[in-house]
A = this chain, B = another copy of it.
Amino acid sequence: MSLRHESGIDLAALELDAVLIAGVENVRYLSGFTGSNGMLLLRREGNPIFFTDPRYTIQAAQEVLPRTRVIPRGALITGVASEIKRSRARRIGFEKSHISFDLYGQLKQLLDTRCELTPLPDLVARQRMIKDERELAAIRESVLINSQAFERGLKKIRPGISESELAGEIEYQMRRLGAEKPAFETIVACGARTALPHARPTRQKLTANQLILIDMGTFRDGYASDMTRTLHLGAPPAKIRRMYQAVLESQLAGIDAVRPGVTAGKVDRVVRGVLKKHGLDRYFMHSTGHGLGLEIHESPRLGKGDRTVLEAGMAVTIEPGVYIEGAGGIRIEDTVVVTQSGCEVLTPTTKELIAI
């Protein structure tokens, strides 16, 4: 089989005979397999070998380019060990963040004692940071569906609907618009609960004169989108409007800072700087954003001191927020793509403070 994407792993340079890919999204990226249980053995000599379990026999035949597909009878790792032996590979690399201590131990025990297992960082994740045209098209589509679902969800907002019902309406609309599924549990939080950055929707009902925070994303053709908007039920008081403007100013400054050659940490610093000017930086306790693609959170992370240098083709979120316990929270988030000269904001949804 030939791979769908380059792995970004130079086996010769690493002096490895084979590398085991175990991260499920890495397997999907390289092989095209969309199931939940698969592994891939890249070999210095010979084709890559794909492994899955018998539930996926037919699906693997449809999705994975032919040549070398192995469906072991027992555990996948047993099949992997057999193929390593058969290939006479001695120096085997593995993804240290995608293999549990347990699985590592099993593999070590199954292999010849002369085999050497070398832990590797997540090299495929690095490769995945730069999206190709097909991937960007999927993300673009995902972002548009997400914003359309938001528009439809807006129409359902009224005092009396619960956070959970509203989240359900939004996810239903995503699906109707052609998304595979929500990219994460849709966040709908109202009133003081907006101060919880990762609030789960509850049966609490929306009431007049309160903040509503909606953080939502979809998967389309396997690729994620992510957006947050904060609204106000009723005319927002001056204090809320001021907080909102400060967050918006910092978000726009962040977007302005995104360009090739800039570090992820620099973008975070710019965002935090604006909030500091407004005396709000201590209420912003998460990072400025994250890469997204086959996963909703992937490299790079845009946080304090992150040294990854932004490059054209990276898709990231910019999402500053301010959370004041008891009072409430405001977050504004877009999905953007780094271009040759700056970035393109994919999210078309207005960032004016929406009052309903």
Contact = CB atoms under 8 A, between A and B. Distances in A.
Interface in A51-94: 54-59, 94
A194 to B, nearest CB: 11
Nearest to A99: B101
A55 B104 contact: no
A102 interface: yes
A185 B35 CA distance: 11
A127 interface: no
A131 interface: no
Which of the four size classes fits the interface of chain A? 35 or more
Nearest to A74: B304
A98 interface: yes
How many monomers of this chain does the complex have? 2
Interface stretch (A166-174, A269-277, A308-316): A166-174
A4 interface: no
Contact of A200 (B97, B165, B180, B286): B180
B96 A100 contact: yes
Contacts of A104: 101
A198 interface: yes
A241 interface: no
Contacts of A201: 180
A286 B55 contact: yes
A203 B97 CA distance: 35
Contact of A167 (B167, B175, B178): B175
A59 B94 CA distance: 36
A164 interface: yes
Contact of A101 (B35, B56, B100): B100
A267 interface: no
B181 A185 contact: yes
A176 B165 contact: yes
Nearest to A62: B196
B55 A198 contact: yes
Nearest to A198: B55
A285 interface: yes
Interface of A: 34-36, 54-59, 94, 96-105, 119, 164-165, 167-169, 171-172, 175-176, 178, 180-181, 185, 195-201, 203, 285-286, 323, 325
Given A59-B196, A96-B101, 5 more contacts: A55-B198, A55-B286, A59-B198, A164-B180, A168-B175
22 contacts: A34-B200, A35-B198, A54-B285, A54-B286, A55-B285, A56-B197, A56-B198, A58-B195, A58-B323, A59-B198, A96-B105, A97-B100, A97-B102, A97-B103, A101-B119, A164-B178, A168-B172, A168-B175, A169-B172, A172-B172, A178-B203, A180-B200
